[in-house]
Structure 1
Amino acid sequence: MILGIHDGHDAGAVLIDGEKIFAVNEERLNRVKKYRGFPKLSVKKVLKMANASPEDVEIIAVAGIFRKLSRLRELEANLKGLFGRDFKRKVLFVEHHLAHSASAYYTSGWRDALAVSIDAAGDGLSSSVYVARDGEMVRIAQSTYVDSLGDFYASVTELLGFRPMRHEGKVMSLAAYGKPTYDLSAIIELNGLGFDNHLGVIGVEATRRLAEFFGYPLSRAGEIADQMKHGKLDDELQKKAIEIAASAQKHLEKLVEELGLELKGHSLPVAYAGGVAQNVKANAVLRGVLGDENLWVFPAMDDGGLAFGAAVFVKAQMERLDGRWRPSKLEHVYLGPAYGKEGVEEFLRSEEVEYEEVDVPSFVADALAEGKPVGFFQGAIEFGPRALGNRSILADPRDDGVKERLNITLKRDVFQPFAPSMLWERAKKYLEDLDGRPNEFMTMSYTASESFRGEAPAVVHVDGTTRPQAVRWEVNPTYYEIIKAFERKSDLGAVLNTSFNMHGEPIVCSPADALKTFKKAGLDVLVIEGFAVTR
C-alpha cells in the first residue's frame, strides 16, 4: 500500500491498494475550508475505507519538500504518532510540481505525453513541463516562483477585493461581464515554455504595483467587491473592476494559447494540472489549440490533488522498476467516504427526521420539474473541487429565476454562473465547440449551442459559455437515470448541478453535513441514499 499525504493548504490523503484508490481532503472531514495543516483525519479515513492499519502502509509519499525546520519537525511528529518510531523508513518526498504533473500524466491513459503544471508557487517553482515516456518523467522547462502566472492572477484577485488563492474563479466569472481594456504584456509574458514577470515582485507587493498600474483604489477593494457580490455592477468603480478582470482573464488566455502553440510543436498530448488549470476558460483556449483528444486536465488540479500525485508517482516508479508499468485512465473521482443506506437510515432515525423511501430518478425529476431545488447525496464523495452528482444541489435549468433563489439561499456572489450535468449522448447537441470526447469532470468551458441557451438559461453564463459534466450510465447510473427521467418530463437532457454546500463552506461529506446544510439553505427536498426528506 502507498499512502500519499499533502501537509499544507488543501491538505489531504490518498491510499493506493493495488488498483483501488481511496482519497479525501481534510476540509471535507473537519469542515474547515481549504484546511492548512497535517491531514490526520484524512489519513485515518482512507485507512478505514481500505480496512487497513498503519502497519499495512509500505510507502508514505509526501507531496512537497519541507525546508522550514519547524514545519518538518511538526510533520515528523504527526507521522511518528500515526506510524511509529520507524516511520522515516517509509517516507519518500515528491517535489510539488512533480506531484502536480504526475497526477495528470498517470491518470491520462497516455503512454507518452507532455505533463504540465502551472500554479502560484511550490518548492520554489511556479510551472514545470515534463516529457513523459513509458512512465518516466523528465523536466524540460520551468518557471521560478517569481515568474509566476498563477501569482499574477492571484494578485489581480486580491486587487479586486477577493481572497487570493481561493477566489480566482470569481475573477474569471466577473470577466464575462465586460471587455478587456488594458494591455498587460508589460506585466508578464511567455518566454519559451516558461514565463517572465516584468514586475519583479510577487504577492502583496505585486498587488500594490497592479493597483498603481490600473489606478485602482486598493483601500476600497473589499467594499467594491461586496457591492458586486450583491449585484451592483454598473457604477464607475464596479465597471473598472470588471474591465480589470476581463483584461487579466484575456491576458491569461493569451499566454496559455501561446504556451499551447509551443507545446503543440512537440507532437505529444498534454496532461495538465496545477492551480491555474482551474481556469476553465483558459483550458478551453488550450483545448482549441491542442484539440479535444490531446488535452487531459486532472480533475483535482489544485493543491488538493497533490497527495494523489505523490502517491501515483511513487507507484509508477515502483512498477517501472519491476517492468510492470502500464498507462492508466482515471474513469471517475468517486473516491471518498460513503455511508451506505443502512447507516443513513439509522442517522435519520436518530435525528427524528421524517423521511420516506422513494424511487430516486422519478422522485427527483418530479421535484425538479415542480421548481424545487434538491439536495442530492449518494455513494462516495467526489475527490476534487467539483460536485459531480454524489454531493450536489440540483435544480431545473430551464428556470432562469432559480439562479437568484440559489444565490440567496447559498449566499453566493450573484455574478457567478451555475453549471449543468448533461446526458453523455446529448453533449454534441448542447455544445457548439465539442469535437471529441465530452468532458466528465467540469474542467472545461464550452460555447453553448443556440438551442441550449434557449432551453437552459440558468446554466449558461452571460458570455454564452457553460461548464458541463457529461454523465455516462456506466460511471454513475443513478445520476444518469435522474437526468434521463427529467428529460422525459421536460425534453431537456440536463439539470443544474452546483456543489452541496453554503458559500465559503466545504462540500458536504457526511449525512450530518447534508442535513445541516439542507436546513440552513432552506432547500425544498433532500434525497439521501434513496430516502427523501422534505420541509
Structure 2
Amino acid sequence: MDRHRRRTFLGISSGHSDPSVAVVRDGRVVAYAEEERFVRNKHAVGQYPTRALRYCLDAVGLRLDEVDSVSVGWHSEAYSDGRMARFFEELGQQWEPDPGTLAWQRDCLRRLSVEGMRAHHHRHWRREFGDLDFPPIQHVPHHYTHAFQAALESPFDPAVTLTVDGSGDEHTTVLWLRQGHELTPLREIRMPHSLGWFYAAFTEYLGFDAYDGEYKVMGLAAYGHPDAALAKLVGEVLAPAPDGVEFRVDPRFIHYGAHTYSARFTDDLVALLGAPPRPVAGAVGQWHKDLALAVQTALEEAVCRLVSWAVRETGVRDVCVGGGVGLNVKMNARLLALPEVDRVFAHPLCADSGAAAGAALVTCHRETGLVPPPLTSLALGPEVSGEAAAPVLAAARVPFERPADLFADIARDLAAGQVVGWVDGRLEAGPRALGQRSILADPRAVEQRDRVNAVIKQREAWRPFGPAMLASAAPRYLEPEVVDSRFMTMAFRATDELRRDAPATVHTDGTTRVQLVHRDANPRFHRLLTGFEALTGVPVLLNTSFNVRGEPIVSGVEDALRTFWATGLDVLVLGDLVVRKEPTGAGGEGR
C-alpha cells in the first residue's frame, strides 16, 4: 500500500438490520450508503452491505485492500476476554433469563468477538473480492461510537452528550461530557434497563414492528389524552431509580417470562395492561392512542431527568444526542424545552446504521488526530444527474423535458397543486428525506397532505408530514427560539402564522418536524423554495421521503421511475430533467 496517499478509513455496520458502510478521509465522512437502498428491501434484514461497500469503494476509487482499516462499533475485545460473559452471568443471578434471552447472549458472545467479527467480514469479503490482503478490523465500543459521532460532529463544545438505544455492549444509556476531543462518561446505565427496549416492547404491543414502527407510536401519541391510570401502569414498567435521576425497567415485562405474543414483551405486560395486544391489521382506538401518549411521556421524563442532572453537575447547557432513541423528535424537543438547556443537536445518523460512520471517525481520529467538522450535509450517497438519467429514460421510452428554468417551472407546478417526486444530486444518508430524494407538495391546504398520505405514500391517515423551510423563515414560523434543525431531528411548536400558511405540515398537537434549508448546504433545493415563495409568499414545502409504505427511499433513476408510475405522483424531477404523466407540450428531449 502506498502510504504517501491520503489515508482512508472504512466503517461497516452489519448487524441484524440496517447494514451500512461509510468512508472517512481527512477527518470527515465523504461517502455513506445503506444496503437497503440498493437491494430495495427495507432494513435489508440479515444481509451484508456488499453493494454499499462497493459503492463506497468506488466513490473514493480504491480497492478493499487499499484502505487503511475497517472499523466496527462494538467492543469486541470484551466479548473475547470474558468480560461480557461475566456480565451476562451476573445478570442471570439477578433475573432468571428465559431461553430466548440466553440464546441472544450466546449469539452476541460468538458473533461480536474479535474472532467472530474477523470470520464474518472476511467470509463476505472473500466471496465478493477474492483472496485479497484484507485491511485490519478496528473495534470501537458501541456507546463511545455514538457519543463521538454525535458530539464531535455537533457545533457545540463543550456539550453534555446523551447516548441512548436498545443496547450496545453492556450499556443502554450513557451520559458524557464533551470537552474538545475528549469524552468523559458521567453516568452509565446497563442492561436490562433500556429505554430502547421499553419503547420497542410497546411498539409491538400497539401492533407495529419494533425497530421500524417506533415513529408511528410517536405520531400516534399526539392523538392521545392523558390517562392517569394508564400512566401508572406504564410506570410499573419504566420508573425512576431510587436516586431520582436514573431510570429502571422491570425486566419481567420485557425479557424474563413467557412470550406468547412477541419476543419484545412478555405475557406479564399483557396481564398488567388488561387487554390483548393490537393485531397488525386491527383498528386503532382511543385507548391505543392514550397508551402511546403514556409511553412517549414516560420516555421523555426519563431522559429529561438525566439531562437535567448532567447540566446541573457540569454547568454545560448545550446537549447532543446519539443512539437510536435519538430519532424520537418529540423527545429531542422536550430536552430543548428544559429551562436549563440552551441548544440541542440530535445526530441524524444516531441509529446503528450510522455507527458505520461513527466508528470510522473514531479510528481516523485515533490514528491521525483529526477531528470532524460540524455536520452540514448528508448528501453522501449515489448521485443522480440529468446527464446520467437521460439515457435511462430514452431506453425506457419515457418522454422527458429539459426546462429552461427548472426551478420556476416546478415551483409553478407545486403552487398549482401538483405533487412532485424530486431526485437531485447525491442520495442523503439516514431515514429523512432532505431535498435529494423527496416527495414535495403545496403545504397550504390539508387536502394536499391527505392526498399524499392516501394515494402516494399509501400509509396511515394519522401520520404527520414535516416542512422543508428556508432557514431565514424560522423566526416567524417556529417556537421557541430555534436551533439549526437542518436534518429533521427536532419538533417545534408551530406559530399561528405557520398554521395559517402551511397547515398541511402541522401535526394535530400543534408541532412540526422541520428541515431548515440553507443555501450553502443545498443550493438547488434552496432555490426551489425561494421560487415557491416568490409565487405564493410561503417559503415552505411539504417534504416527505420518496418512497411508499414498506419500501426504502429511492436511490437511482429506475427506483424513482417505478415509484412514480405506481403512485399518484404528477411530476418527476431527475436532476435537470422533468417527466410528467400529463406532458405540457413544452419542447423537450425524448418527446
Partners of 1:310 and 1:402 in 2: how far apart?
A: 41
Partners of 1:525 and 1:292 in 2: how far apart?
A: 43
Q: Given residue 265 of structure 2, which amino acid in structure 1 is its aligned partner? A: A
Of residues 71-80 and 261-270 in structure 1, the stretch that sits farther from structure 2 once superposed is 71-80
The answer to whether the 8 A contact 1:260-1:289 is kept is no
CA deviation vs aligned residue, 1:15-52 (integer Å, no higher than 9, x gap): 11224611111111111111233211111101111122
> CA-atom RMSD, angstroms?
2.0
The answer to whether the 8 A contact 2:335-2:341 is kept is no
**SS of equivalent residue, structure 1 residue 211:** helix
Do structure 1's residue 361 and structure 2's residue 407 form an aligned pair? yes
CA deviation vs aligned residue, 1:314-360 (integer Å, no higher than 9, x gap): 1122233xxxx446201111111103321111111111110000222
Q: Which residue number in structure 2 is paired with residue 27 of structure 1?
A: 36
- In the alignment, which of 286, 303, 310 is matched to residue 256 of structure 1? 303
- In the alignment, which of 272, 279, 282 is matched to residue 221 of structure 1? 279
Do structure 1's residue 328 and structure 2's residue 373 form an aligned pair? yes
The answer to whether the 8 A contact 1:102-1:115 is kept is no
**SS of equivalent residue, structure 2 residue 426:** coil
Give the drift of 1:274.
1.2
Q: Which residue number in structure 2 is paired with residue 406 of structure 1?
A: 452
Do structure 1's residue 505 and structure 2's residue 512 form an aligned pair? no
Do structure 1's residue 172 and structure 2's residue 218 form an aligned pair? yes
Q: Given residue 213 of structure 1, which amino acid in structure 2 is its aligned partner? A: L
Q: Which residue number in structure 2 is paired with residue 232 of structure 1?
A: none
Give the drift of 1:205.
6.1
Q: Which residue number in structure 2 is paired with residue 155 of structure 1?
A: 201
Percentage of matched positions with identical amino acids: 32
Do structure 1's residue 440 and structure 2's residue 486 form an aligned pair? yes
Residues 356-395 of structure 1 mapped to structure 2, 5 A cutoff: 356-358=401-403, 359-395=405-441
Task: Mark the CA change 1:130 to 1:425 in structure 2 (over 3 Å): closer, same or farther.
Answer: same
Residues 285-364 of structure 1 mapped to structure 2, 5 A cutoff: 285-289=334-338, 293-320=342-369, 325-326=370-371, 328-358=373-403, 359-364=405-410
Partners of 1:328 and 1:293 in 2: how far apart?
A: 21
CA deviation vs aligned residue, 1:405-457 (integer Å, no higher than 9, x gap): 11122211111101100111101100121x24331010000000011112211
Partners of 1:35 and 1:432 in 2: how far apart?
A: 38
Question: Normalised by the size of structure 1, how large is the TM-score?
Answer: 0.92
Q: Which residue number in structure 2 is paired with residue 186 of structure 1?
A: 236
Q: Which residue number in structure 2 is paired with residue 530 of structure 1?
A: 576
CA deviation vs aligned residue, 1:45-71 (integer Å, no higher than 9, x gap): 011111222232001111225645366
Give the drift of 1:75.
2.6
- In the alignment, which of 512, 515, 524 is matched to residue 478 of structure 1? 524
The answer to whether the 8 A contact 1:339-1:379 is kept is yes
The answer to whether the 8 A contact 2:172-2:189 is kept is yes
CA deviation vs aligned residue, 1:55-94 (integer Å, no higher than 9, x gap): 3200111122564536643333124446766766511012
Partners of 1:187 and 1:328 in 2: how far apart?
A: 40
Partners of 2:364 and 2:239 in 1: how far apart?
A: 36
Partners of 1:42 and 1:293 in 2: how far apart?
A: 38
Question: Normalised by the size of structure 2, how large is the TM-score?
Answer: 0.84
The answer to whether the 8 A contact 1:109-1:329 is kept is yes
Of residues 90-99 and 244-253 in structure 1, the stretch that sits farther from structure 2 once superposed is 90-99
Partners of 1:326 and 1:378 in 2: how far apart?
A: 29
Partners of 2:529 and 2:414 in 1: how far apart?
A: 10
- In the alignment, which of 266, 275, 292 is matched to residue 245 of structure 1? 292
Q: Which residue number in structure 2 is paired with residue 118 of structure 1?
A: 164
Task: Mark the CA change 1:456 to 1:121 in structure 2 (over 3 Å): closer, same or farther.
Answer: same
Partners of 1:347 and 1:298 in 2: how far apart?
A: 35
Q: Which residue number in structure 1 is paired with residue 511 of structure 2?
A: 465
Partners of 1:79 and 1:441 in 2: how far apart?
A: 33
The answer to whether the 8 A contact 2:172-2:194 is kept is yes
Task: Mark the CA change 1:338 to 1:452 in structure 2 (over 3 Å): closer, same or farther.
Answer: same
Of residues 45-54 and 510-519 in structure 1, the stretch that sits farther from structure 2 once superposed is 45-54
- In the alignment, which of 60, 78, 96 is matched to residue 70 of structure 2? 60
The answer to whether the 8 A contact 1:127-1:194 is kept is no
Partners of 1:133 and 1:190 in 2: how far apart?
A: 29
Q: Which has the larger radius of gyration?
A: 2
Give the drift of 1:309.
0.8
Partners of 1:313 and 1:346 in 2: how far apart?
A: 41
The answer to whether the 8 A contact 1:110-1:328 is kept is no
Q: Any gaps of 5 or more consecutive residues in structure 2?
A: 1-7, 77-107, 256-262, 582-591
Q: Given residue 287 of structure 1, which amino acid in structure 2 is its aligned partner? A: L
Q: Which residue number in structure 2 is paired with residue 211 of structure 1?
A: 270
- In the alignment, which of 315, 319, 324 is matched to residue 267 of structure 1? 315
Partners of 1:201 and 1:77 in 2: how far apart?
A: 38
Partners of 1:16 and 1:107 in 2: how far apart?
A: 13
Do structure 1's residue 13 and structure 2's residue 54 form an aligned pair? no
Q: Which residue number in structure 1 is paired with residue 259 of structure 2?
A: none
**SS of equivalent residue, structure 2 residue 490:** coil
Partners of 1:295 and 1:455 in 2: how far apart?
A: 27
CA deviation vs aligned residue, 1:257-315 (integer Å, no higher than 9, x gap): 21221121222332211111111111001111277753211111212211011011111
**SS of equivalent residue, structure 1 residue 495:** strand
Give the drift of 1:194.
4.0
The answer to whether the 8 A contact 2:361-2:372 is kept is no
Partners of 1:381 and 1:315 in 2: how far apart?
A: 24
Partners of 1:256 and 1:357 in 2: how far apart?
A: 50
Q: Given residue 253 of structure 1, which amino acid in structure 2 is its aligned partner? A: E
Task: Mark the CA change 1:416 to 1:327 in structure 2 (over 3 Å): closer, same or farther.
Answer: same
The answer to whether the 8 A contact 2:70-2:135 is kept is no
Q: Which residue number in structure 1 is paired with residue 585 of structure 2?
A: none
CA deviation vs aligned residue, 1:359-407 (integer Å, no higher than 9, x gap): 2211111111111100000000101110001100000001111122111
Task: Mark the CA change 1:436 to 1:419 in structure 2 (over 3 Å): closer, same or farther.
Answer: closer
The answer to whether the 8 A contact 1:111-1:327 is kept is no
Of residues 87-96 and 149-158 in structure 1, the stretch that sits farther from structure 2 once superposed is 87-96
Superposed structure 1 runs of 4+ greater than 6 Å apart: none
Q: Given residue 339 of structure 1, which amino acid in structure 2 is its aligned partner? A: V
**SS of equivalent residue, structure 1 residue 223:** coil
Q: Given residue 64 of structure 2, which amino acid in structure 1 is its aligned partner? A: P
Partners of 1:364 and 1:412 in 2: how far apart?
A: 25
Q: Given residue 221 of structure 1, which amino acid in structure 2 is its aligned partner? A: P
Q: Which residue number in structure 2 is paired with residue 517 of structure 1?
A: 563
Task: Mark the CA change 1:294 to 1:317 in structure 2 (over 3 Å): closer, same or farther.
Answer: farther
Give the drift of 1:489.
1.2
Q: Which residue number in structure 2 is paired with residue 234 of structure 1?
A: none
**SS of equivalent residue, structure 2 residue 30:** strand
The answer to whether the 8 A contact 1:122-1:145 is kept is no
Give the drift of 1:153.
0.9
The answer to whether the 8 A contact 1:55-1:83 is kept is no
CA deviation vs aligned residue, 1:138-193 (integer Å, no higher than 9, x gap): 33322223100111111111111111111011111111112121223322134466
Partners of 1:223 and 1:482 in 2: how far apart?
A: 39
- Equivalenced residue count is 518
